[in-house]
Every structure is written in structure tokens, then in C-alpha cells.
Amino acid sequence: MLKLYHAAPFANSGKVLIALKEKEIPFESHFIDLHRFEQHEPWFLKLNPDGQVPVLDHDGFLVTQTTIISEYLEDAFPDTPTLRPADAVDIARMRLWNKYIDEHVMEAVSIHGWQVRARATALSLDEDEFERYIARIPLEKQRKKWRQAREGFPQADLDAATEKVRDAAKRVEDQLQDGPWLVGDMFTFADINFYCYCGGALERMFPSIGNRDTCPRLLDWVDRVHARPGVAAALAMDVPQSVGDAKRK
């Protein structure tokens, strides 16, 4: 049996939810409320000692890290619709996109998201409560990020992140001159990756970048992504509204 522990269908959780729906692989959904810090509960740390979603549980084999989960789905379910090219050159191109998106784009968009959502969550707690939650976070990097969210990220960091997003959007806009998707004519994990970490939120979060003057091909690509049944199914998933208020727990 396949189980997925996940949050709402965007960013990290979106990558795997979309892959599962596109590949038409049935799974048992376990919603984890990040804004109630469920991912740091002792029972969850047994699944992933890093305290992060998503976690895939395939008959007891636990897989973490979204890009590794994606390729695992491809390797473990070879008879389902494929999201990885067959050709060695195209696979390498897909992986180069994934590495760039995972290591450079994700964090740049993420701190803008955290500045709003995680900050609201952090500020809803008094300092003692906040510190109690923070003390449970296994990764030092995540503890720092939560503290930074409570303080507010420095404007210089937010601006630098925006420039990285602008650069990423330009790279994708340029790539889309060559075809409808990031790697040739096929919708792959690279498209899902860029959509979930950046492309899907570009118009809303970065309107000076995500507009028809600057990125016409990219916005057409977003429409093509939305038109895919698997993507639509993932986005329509009935997950509990995350409350942004850890106190309500």
C-alpha cells in the first residue's frame, strides 16, 4: 500500500501529489498541518527524522526528498504514465532543471511565502510557545528559518530572492522558445517541479515578473499545466484549510 504524508498541494507536497495523480497511482492521503507544526511531532519524526513533508511510505519503505520520491515513483511503477523521458540526453536535461530548481529557485520563492504565511503563524504564538515549537525542529536550518520568519526576513534578502526568481523566469521563458515543456515535447518532473516551486505562484506572488509582457510563454505554459487532468485533480484535493494559527491546535 502506498501512503503519502503531505501538506496542501503546492511546493514540496504539490510535486508529489501531482506526480501521483498524473501517474494515476492510487494512494492513501495523510494530511499534515505545517502551521500546527505536526511535522515535528514525535510520531512524525519516526517517519522522517528531519521533520519535513512529504514522506512516501511504500509497503514500509519510507522515501523523502521530493525529487527522489518522483524518480522512485517512476522506477517502482514503470507501467504507469511516465513523467521521465526515455532518452538519456533528455533525462539529463530534466535532472539539470530539477537540480537548478531544487537548489536555487525553491528557496528564493520560499522565503517570500514564509514572510507571509509562516510569519503569521509565528506571530500568533507568544514567545514561550514559539520557542517550545522551535526546540522540537530537528534541522538547524529550519529553526533559523522559523526565527527569521518571526522577526521578518531582511528586505535585502527578499530583494535578492526576487532577483533569483526573475532570473529563473527568464530561463524558463527562453527555454519555452524551443517547445511546449521544459524538456522537449514531453511533460516531465521538471515541469511539475518548476510549477510547484515557482511558476504556479508567479502571477500572484511576483506580478512584476509573472505578467504577459515579461513572460508570455511562461504564462501560456502555466495554462497548459493547469489543463492537465492529473494536475487539476491534485489541485482540487480536499485538504483541510491550514489555519496559520498554531494556538488553535
Binding site for its own copies (CB under 8 A): 61, 63-65, 68, 71-72, 75-76, 88-89, 91-92, 95-96, 99
The grid coordinates listed for 3 are: 501512503
Residue 224 Cβ vs its own copies, minimum distance, rounded to whole Å: 26
Q: Which C-beta is closer to its own copies: that of 88 or that of 227?
A: 88
Cβ pair 89, 34 in contact under 8 A: no
Phi-psi category of residue 30: left, alpha or beta, with phi > 0 → left and psi -120 to 50 → alpha: beta
Give the C-alpha separation, 208 to 101, whole Å.
20
Q: Which C-beta is closer to its own copies: that of 67 or that of 214?
A: 67
Q: Which C-beta is closer to its own copies: that of 105 or that of 222?
A: 105
Q: Where are the alpha helices (DSSP H) in the chain?
A: 11-22, 42-47, 66-76, 88-100, 106-123, 127-135, 140-151, 155-175, 189-197, 202-205, 216-226, 229-235
Q: Which C-beta is closer to its own copies: that of 64 or that of 142?
A: 64
